Amino acid sequence: MKYDKGLIGGSTVLLLLSLLKEQDRYGYEIIKELELRSENAFQFKEGTLYPVLHRLEAKGYVKSYQAKGDTGKNRKYYKITKSGLEELEVETEAWKSFSENVQKVLAGGNGKTLNTYG
């Protein structure tokens, strides 16, 4: 299933910080891991991913460093910071609250309605 870019964009920080909480990763690895776990529903392009990673780095949520990858090639890895872990908690709680409220609306409001026809 393809998702609206706005919907994905609103969860990008949550997804990236969540992956980086597990382990340090380089950009292409992040893209492939998102595709794998989402069964190709999340297909980020490098032109989308790297600006977000750079913003996260500017905010101090991640740090980057150079290291040799599995193939021996130098790669730029991203590592979540303490403030990134704190932001991940904030983003996770916001997502849970948002999801719960969407579910309430989809479920018909559980009997709670506003009578606007007086």
The neighbour count for residue 17, using CB atoms within 10 Å, is: 24
Number of domains, the chain: 1
Residue 82 lies in a domain: yes
Whole-model pTM: value is 0.83
pLDDT at 71: 86
- Whichever domain contains 82, its CATH number is 1.10.10.10
Residue 47 lies in a domain: yes
**Residue 115 gets which letter from DSSP?**
-
Residue 27 lies in a domain: yes
Q: How confident is the model at residue 108 (pLDDT cuts 50, 70, 90)?
A: confident
State the angle between helix axes of 46-58 and 12-22 in degrees (0 to 180), rounded to the nearest 10. 80
pLDDT at 11: 87
Q: What is the mean pLDDT of the chain?
A: 88
Q: Answer for the pair 35, 42: CB distance below 8 angstroms, yes or no.
A: yes
pLDDT at 116: 58
Q: Answer for the pair 20, 62: CB distance below 8 angstroms, yes or no.
A: yes
Residue 75 lies in a domain: yes
Q: Which domain holds residue 36?
A: 5-104
Average pLDDT of the residues in 16-33: 97
